[in-house]
Amino acid sequence: MSQPLLNATGIVKAFGPTKALDGANMSVHAGEVVAVMGPSGSGKSTMLHCLAGIIAPDAGTVTYDGRDLGAMPDQPRSTLRRTEFGFVFQFGQLVPELTCVENVALPMRLGGMRRREAEAKARDWLGRLEVGDVASKRPGEVSGGQGQRVAVARALVTGPKVIFADEPTGALDSLNGEHVMRMLTDAAKETGAAVILVTHEPRVAAYSDREVIVRDGHTRQVEFA
Amino acid sequence: MSIGHTLLGLLEHGPRHGYDLKRAYDEHFGHDRPLHYGQVYATLSRLLKNGLIEEHGVEHGGGPDRKRYAVTTDGVTDVQQWLTTPEKPELYMQSTLYTKVVIALMSARDAEVVLDTQRHAHLKAMRALTTRKAHGDLADQLICDHALFHLEADLRWLELTAARLNDLRKQVTS
């Protein structure tokens, strides 16, 4: 098999006296969907944040495309997150003052793209995720399912290599949750992006190619045919 | 699945012959387990004997003549009673998986491996169903959902058991 796109080895991360991760390992290859599962408080979200370079582990190494994220200065790591990574969180985390199309265009605008071009791309992605009709609305004016699809569009619009999704359907009912998962994984397959999917819901994990279990700060991976 | 009641229900839409009934059954309910002709004719024979259906003419075609059957008033009453009688909830009190976990703990084996192995197998089955759902019609999606929710219940039990392994170990080894 090819080299992993993302590789975490021996990750340790404590918050005060609590060790969230204690020697966790995980790798993700280009284009694959990996579910990170485990009970609440097991350390799965901390694992995602370490993999995405959002938080620095106390020990251990995270490499992305061969580059050590821990050794990277803040500015290039921040640029990397904006250009190569996409994020979907449980509650969308859309900017409430901006319209949906402005929200989706935001990562491109931050990268210096002109408004007209960025919003045209944003509208295209909103249409692909079947929420083109909410483009001019603010997040507070759309349903939870629509808002989450807007968040997926924002995660995909820059053409990221990895999408980090932390409980992306946690606030949705079953039907909307399925819709979002199908659109997220279909779009990721289409663009070749890898997806790291943190979830405690088995039916959401069933959209992945394989699973990694986090329990008590350790990772468990079952390798079977 | 009560094949007899299902065939009676299908006959409520009008008289049909055995082949037609099998085709309707397989289309709606036999996605993974189509009926054998033998089952259809054995069931029709029993329903006829019990007065729940009656012969309703013969269909002449290119092949052999085929008897058509119609549901009787007693048959309709039987369907109505079947529909309004709740199915007995499955309690799943005899769990092979629970037994495996306990035996693993009693013999000082790694019970987490038992749970991990099962979780992996369940998720694999859930992935196959999720893929099938994506290409299926609404009926297929509902059938897959039913299976998915049951597998999910098993997985929730696996997680809960994994969180309680230390307590269970103390209990079964004391």
Cβ neighbours of B112 (radius 10 Å): 16
CA distances in angstroms from B63 to A114, B22, B87, listed in the order given: 73, 17, 41
**B76 and B103 housed in the same domain:** no
User: So what's the pLDDT on residue A170?
Assistant: 85
> Residue A82: what pLDDT?
87
CA distance B44 to chain A (A): 39
Assign A204 to helix, strand or coil.
helix
Contact A215 B152 (CB under 8 A): no
Question: How far is A119 from A116, CA to CA, in rounded Å?
Answer: 5
Do the domain assignments include residue B90? no
Distances (CA, A) of A220 to A199, A205, A210, B3: 15, 15, 12, 45
Contacts of B155 in chain A (CB under 8 A): 202
Domains in chain A: ranges and CATH: 6-93+160-220 (3.40.50.300)
Taking a C-beta distance cutoff of 8 angstroms, is the pair B17, B69 a contact? yes
Domain hosting B23: range is 3-84
Residues B58 and B100 in one domain: no
Which of A182, A203, A213 faces B134 most closely, judged by CB atoms?
A: A182
| Chain segment B18-71, per-residue pLDDT in tens | 999 999 999 888 877 899 999 999 999 999 999 999 999 887 776 666 899 999
The rounded distance, in Å, linking the Cα atoms of B122 and B164 is 20
How is residue B89 written in tokens?
Answer: 């909830």
* B12 and B79 together in one domain: yes
- The answer to whether the CB atoms of A202 and B122 lie below 8 A apart is yes
Candidate from B116, B130, B149 with C-beta closest to A207: B130
A182 chain-B contacts, CB cut-off 8 A: 134
**Residuewise pLDDT in 10s, chain A (225 residues):** 678 999 999 999 999 999 999 999 999 999 999 999 988 888 999 999 999 999 999 999 999 999 999 999 989 998 899 889 999 988 768 999 999 999 999 999 988 999 999 999 999 999 988 999 999 999 999 998 899 999 999 999 999 999 999 998 888 888 888 988 998 999 999 999 999 999 989 999 999 999 999 988 899 876 654
Q: Which residues pair with A10 in a beta bridge?
A: none
How far is the C-alpha of B154 from the C-alpha of A68, rounded, in Å? 40
Contact yes or no for B148 and A222 at CB 8 A: no
Domain boundary among B84, B118, B140: B84
B77 is a domain residue: yes
Q: Are residues B109 and B76 in the same domain?
A: no
Contact between B26 and B34 under an 8 Å Cβ cutoff? The reply is yes
Closest Cβ–Cβ partner in A35, A201, A220 for B116? A220
Q: Which residues of A touch B132 (CB under 8 A)?
A: none
Sign of CA dihedral A45, A50, A53, A58: positive
Same domain, B151 and B100: yes
SS (H, E, C) A89-137: CCCCCCCCCCCHHHHHHHHHHHCCCCHHHHHHHHHHHHHHCCCHHHCCC
Does B123 fall in a domain?
yes
Nearest CA in chain B to A201: B152
Is B127–A211 a contact, with Cβ atoms under 8 angstroms apart?
no
Which residue, B27, B61, B84, sits at the end of a domain?
B84
Do B131 and B68 fall within a single domain? no
Q: Which of A206, A213, A222 sits opposite B130 (nearest CB)?
A: A206
Domain check: are B14 and B64 in the same one? yes
Same-domain status, B109 and B164: yes
Residues of A with CB under 8 A from a CB of B: 35, 39, 182, 200-203, 205-209, 211, 213, 215, 220, 222, 224
> Same domain, yes or no, for B71 and B114?
no
Measure CB to CB from residue B126 to each of A202, A220, A222 and give the nearest one: A202
Chain B CA closest to residue A209: B127
Residue A195 near residue A165 (C-beta atoms within 8 A):
yes
Residue A172's pLDDT is what? 83
Question: What per-residue confidence (pLDDT) applies to A225?
Answer: 43
Q: Do A202 and B117 touch (CB under 8 A)?
A: no
Q: Is residue B91 part of a domain?
A: no
Residues of A in contact with B123 (CB under 8 A): 35, 202, 205-206, 211
Task: Measure A206 CA to nearest chain B CA, in Å.
Answer: 5
Where does B60-133 show beta strands of DSSP type E?
66-71
| CB A43 within 8 Å of CB A21 | yes
pLDDT score, position B95:
87
Nearest Cβ partner for A202 among B112, B155, B162: B155
Instruction: Flag whether B89 is in a domain.
Output: no
Q: How many inter-chain contacts (A to B, CB under 8 Å) are there?
A: 45
Q: Is there a domain that residue B122 lies in?
A: yes
Query: Cβ B148–A203 below 8 Å, yes or no?
Result: yes
List all residues 6 or more positions away from B104 whose beta carbon is below 8 Å from its beta carbon.
Answer: B110, B111, B113, B114
Q: Residue B146: closest CA among chain A residues belongs to which residue? A: A203
Question: CA-CA distance, A210 to A225, in Å (whole number)?
Answer: 11
Query: Could you report the per-residue pLDDT of B110-165, keeping only the tens digit for each?
Result: 999 999 999 999 999 999 999 999 888 898 899 999 999 999 999 999 999 998 99
Query: What value of ipTM does the predicted structure carry?
Result: 0.84
Q: How many domains does chain B have?
A: 2
Strand partners, B59: B66
Cross-chain residue pair B162–A215, CB shorter than 8 Å: yes
State the CATH number of the domain containing residue B66.
Answer: 1.10.10.10
The chain A residue lying nearest B153, using CA atoms, is A202
Assess B122–A contact: CB distance below 8 Å, yes or no.
yes
Please tell me the distance in Å from A119's CA to the nearest CA on chain B. 31
